């Protein structure tokens, strides 16, 4: 698998997981739907050393 295909798979998979988790938590009252959530993605490539950490935030609306 190429780097581009792997990262696309990671992006699609994590987006779906995050969106599902947010919908569930809004439905059960744990989130109101207007929060800003702090996020951090960590990618580890075995054999290359340190993991790649990408911090950020997601604003719900």
pLDDT exceeds 90 at position 61: no
| C-beta contacts of 8-15 below 8 A and 24+ residues apart | 10/43, 14/41
CA distance 61 to 44: 31
How is the chain split into domains, by residue range? Answer: 3-59
In this structure, are residues 58 and 36 in contact, taking their beta carbons and an 8 Å threshold?
yes
CA distance 41 to 20: 17
User: 12-49: per-residue pLDDT in tens?
Assistant: 999 999 999 999 999 999 999 999 999 999 999 999 99
What pLDDT score does 52 carry? 96
What pLDDT score does 13 carry? 97
């Amino acid at each position: 698998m190429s780097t581009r295909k792997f990262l696309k798979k990671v992006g699609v998979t994590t987006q779906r997981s995050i969106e599902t988790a947010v919908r569930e938590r809004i439905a059960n009252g744990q989130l109101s739907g207007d929060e800003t959530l702090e996020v951090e993605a960590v990618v580890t490539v075995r054999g290359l050393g340190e993991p790649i950490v990408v911090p950020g935030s997601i604003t719900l609306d």
